[in-house]
Amino acid sequence: MPSWSRIQDVSSRRAQDIVVFAGSEGIDSRYSDYMRSAVPADTPSDIFAAQVRRWQSMTPAEKGELIDVMSTEVDDIARAGIRFREPNVAPEREHWLIVARRYGRTFAQTCIGPEPIRCP
C-alpha cells in the first residue's frame, strides 16, 4: 500500500503543505510545477522518495544541523567561485562580493561602501 506524506515548504518560510505520493512507482506527478521543479533531474524518483522519508523522520535538531552544514558549504562554494575568477582577490573584496551576491549590489554599497577595486 502506498504511503502519503506531507512536506513543509521551509524555503518560503510559510507552512505550505505539499502532498507527495511515495508509492512503488516513486514520486507521483500530481503535484504543482513548483514542487516538480524541486525534484532533482539527476536523482531517480525512488531515491528521492527515500530522501523525503528521511527528512520527515529527522528531529528539529538534526534538521538544524543539516541546514547549518549546507549553508556553510554553499558559502564555501561561492567563495571558491570568486577566488577562481579572481585568484588574487583581497579579503575585503571577497566579502563585498559575497554580500553583493547574497543581498544585491545596492545593499552591499549601502552597508559596506563602494565595491573594492579588483587586484590585477
- What single DSSP character describes residue 116? P
pLDDT at site 34: 47
Answer with the residue of higher pLDDT: 45 or 27: 45
**pLDDT digit string (tens) for 43-58?**
888 898 898 899 999 9
Cβ–Cβ < 8 Å for 48, 26 = yes
C-alpha cell of 6? 506531507
| pLDDT, averaged across the chain | 76
Give the integer Cα–Cα distance in Å for 102 and 96: 10
Query: What does the pLDDT average to over 72-85?
Result: 94
**pLDDT digit string (tens) for 86-103?**
999 999 999 999 999 999
Handedness of CA 26, 32, 35, 41 (dihedral sign): positive
pLDDT at site 41: 83
Give the integer Cα–Cα distance in Å for 89 and 26: 46
Give the integer Cα–Cα distance in Å for 104 and 88: 23
Cβ–Cβ < 8 Å for 51, 62 = no
Give the integer Cα–Cα distance in Å for 52 and 50: 5
Residue 23 has pLDDT above 80, yes or no: no
Give the integer Cα–Cα distance in Å for 89 and 87: 6
